Structure 1
Amino acid sequence: MKNNFDLRTVNVTRYITPLREGGSLPALAEADDDFKYVLKFKGAGHGVKALIAELIGGQIAKALKLQLPELVFANLDEAFGRSEGDEEIQDLLQGSQGLNLALHFLSGSITFDPVVTTVDDKLASQIVWLDAYITNVDRTFRNTNMLIWHKELWLIDHGACLYFHHSWNNWEQHAKSPFALIKDHVLLPQASLLKEVDAEYKALLTNEKLEEIVNTIPEEWLVWEDTEETPEALRNVYLQFLQTRLNNSKIFVNQAQNAR
Structure 2
Amino acid sequence: MLRQVTAIRYVTPLREGGSLPGVVEADDLGTYVAKFRGAGQGPKALVAEVICGELARRLELRVPSLVVLDIDPVIGRAEPDQEVQELLRNSGGANLGMDFLPGALGFDPVAHPVDPTLASRVLWFDAYVQNVDRSWRNPNLLIWHRDLWLIDHGAALYFHHNWPRAEAAVHRPYRAEDHVLAPYADRMAEADAELAPLITPELLAEVLALVPPEWLTAADFDSADAAREAYVAHLSQRVARSVDWLPAGDAA
Q: TM-score, normalised by structure 1?
A: 0.92
User: SS of the counterpart of 1:115?
Assistant: coil
Q: Does 1:230 align with 2:223?
A: yes
Q: What are the equivalent positions in structure 2 for 1:1-260 lying under 5 Å apart? A: 6-180=1-175, 182-225=176-219, 227=220, 229-253=222-246, 255-257=247-249, 259-260=251-252
Contact 2:187–2:249, Cα closer than 8 Å, also in 1 = no
1:186-220: CA deviation from partner (whole Å, max 9, x where unpaired)? 11111111111111112222221111111211111
Whole-Å separation in 2 of the counterparts to 1:143 and 1:228: 32
Contact 1:63–1:205, Cα closer than 8 Å, also in 2 = no
User: SS of the counterpart of 1:195?
Assistant: helix
Contact 2:38–2:88, Cα closer than 8 Å, also in 1 = yes
**1:209 alignment partner AA:** L
How big is the shift at 1:229? 4.1
User: SS of the counterpart of 2:74?
Assistant: coil
Q: Percent identity?
A: 49
Contact 1:72–1:102, Cα closer than 8 Å, also in 2 = yes
How big is the shift at 1:230? 3.2
How big is the shift at 1:78? 4.7
Whole-Å separation in 1 of the counterparts to 2:140 and 2:21: 14
The equivalent residue for 1:3 is none
Whole-Å separation in 1 of the counterparts to 2:237 and 2:225: 18
**2:225 alignment partner AA:** E
User: SS of the counterpart of 1:165?
Assistant: helix
User: SS of the counterpart of 2:18?
Assistant: coil
Whole-Å separation in 2 of the counterparts to 1:187 and 1:84: 38
Q: Per the alignment, do residues 190 and 165 of structure 1 end up closer, same or farther by CA in structure 2, a change over 3 Å counting?
A: same
Whole-Å separation in 2 of the counterparts to 1:149 and 1:200: 25
1:208-260: CA deviation from partner (whole Å, max 9, x where unpaired)? 111111121111102235x364332222211111101111112111x344634
Q: Per the alignment, do residues 184 and 95 of structure 1 end up closer, same or farther by CA in structure 2, a change over 3 Å counting?
A: same
RMSD (Å) for aligned C-alpha atoms: 1.4
Whole-Å separation in 2 of the counterparts to 1:131 and 1:171: 17
Contact 1:14–1:29, Cα closer than 8 Å, also in 2 = yes
Higher mean C-alpha displacement, 156-165 vs 84-93 = 84-93
Contact 2:65–2:98, Cα closer than 8 Å, also in 1 = yes
Gaps of 5+ in 1: 1-5
Contact 1:147–1:153, Cα closer than 8 Å, also in 2 = yes
**1:140 alignment partner AA:** S
Contact 1:188–1:256, Cα closer than 8 Å, also in 2 = no
Q: TM-score, normalised by structure 2?
A: 0.95
